[in-house]
Amino acid sequence: MLRQVAEGVLVHESEFCQSNAVVVDGRDGVLLVDPGVRDQELDCLADDLSDAGRTVVAGFSTHPDWDHLLWHARFGTAPRYGTARCASAAQEQLSAPDAKADIADHLLETEIAGQVSLDLFGLVTALPAGTARIPWDGPRVRVIEHQAHAPGHAALFIEERGVLVAGDMLSDVLVPMLDLDGTADPIEDYLAALRLLEGVADDVDVVVPGHGSVGGADEARARIGRDRAYVLALREGRVPDDPRIGPSARPGWEWVSDVHDGQARRLARRDERDGTPV
């Protein structure tokens, strides 16, 4: 069910990993960001849009992880934008002969096996490099591109509504997940991304993470600070004092501690390989 979080901005929350799809009202239709995840949830979202007389005129994928590249035929054939790097990464995924089969196999290990359609997966239209705003007839939506978490990741700032759509950052349930395979310095890339988000934080009234709870005006800087503290602890080889991992983790999200442990081990091995003191 769609829930309004600001004037003309609504969120549809999936049961899977508390994933958030974002709908932004424009003059002739809506901008749809990161719709997901299960087929029945996309059907529900399509029903909500249809019942409200809303037509999708543009889409956006914040980054090229599988759960942010989904679509439904009922949303229509509007362009589904992403940054140039995001679109390139999605195209590279689709170029693999068994790309969709591999994702389906991965989902067999989850509770949503067989419930995710990949027919329209990954069909992202690249925005020209350096594009500053979504090209559509609606509120100004600033594209804040960075290299944290995934290639070509972008947050969207809906300036007139004070809404920051953060993609897979600023979550209250997930720790920062670094792109440990795609960049030479994933720690600095993440810190640089947080600085970019901090640059708009004073104007943010609502923050919508890709996964987790929608936060109010006081949450933007708090979440940036929490994510920065976590990443700095990783860089320094310390155990983070973070409520998202360990005994204080939210029930049902205990697996995030495993994500953290895996990142810490990989960074330690990288430091050993590069001769960096740990």
| 266, 178 Cβ separation under 8 angstroms | no
Residue whose pair of structure tokens reads 């990989």 in the numeric block? 266
| 30, 23 Cβ separation under 8 angstroms | yes
Report whether the peptide linkage leading into residue 175 is cis, meaning its omega lies within 30 degrees of zero: no
Neighbours of 211 (CB within 10 A): 22
Domain count across the chain: 1
pLDDT band, residue 109 (cuts 50/70/90): confident
CATH number at residue 144: 3.60.15.10
The DSSP secondary-structure symbol of 132 reads -
pLDDT band, residue 278 (cuts 50/70/90): very low
* Alpha carbon separation from 264 to 176, 218, 234, 238, 261 (Å, rounded): 12, 29, 6, 9, 5
Question: Is the pLDDT at 270 greater than 90, yes or no?
Answer: no
CA–CA separation, 238 and 231 (whole Å)? 10
- Looking at residues 246-266, what average pLDDT do you find? 95
Residue among 26, 24, 25 nearest 34 (CA)? 24
- Looking at residues 257-267, what average pLDDT do you find? 96
Q: Please write the tens of the pLDDT for every residue from 181-228.
A: 988 999 999 999 999 999 999 999 999 999 999 999 999 999 999 999
What are the respective helix, strand and coil percentages of the chain, to the nearest 5?
Answer: 35, 20, 45
CA–CA separation, 217 and 201 (whole Å)? 9
Instruction: Tell me which residue range forms the domain holding 196.
Output: 2-274
Q: Copy the structure tokens of residue 207.
A: 């923050």
CA–CA separation, 145 and 131 (whole Å)? 9
CA–CA separation, 165 and 179 (whole Å)? 20
Question: Is the pLDDT at 99 greater than 80, yes or no?
Answer: yes
- Find the helix or strand (DSSP H, E) in which 207 lies: strand 206-209
pLDDT band, residue 277 (cuts 50/70/90): very low
- Looking at residues 2-8, what average pLDDT do you find? 97
| 204, 220 Cβ separation under 8 angstroms | yes
| 28, 105 Cβ separation under 8 angstroms | no
| 136, 114 Cβ separation under 8 angstroms | no
Q: Copy the structure tokens of residue 211.
A: 């996964």
Which pLDDT belongs to residue 275?
A: 61
Q: Please write the tens of the pLDDT for every residue from 69-82.
A: 999 999 999 999 99
Which pLDDT belongs to residue 276?
A: 55
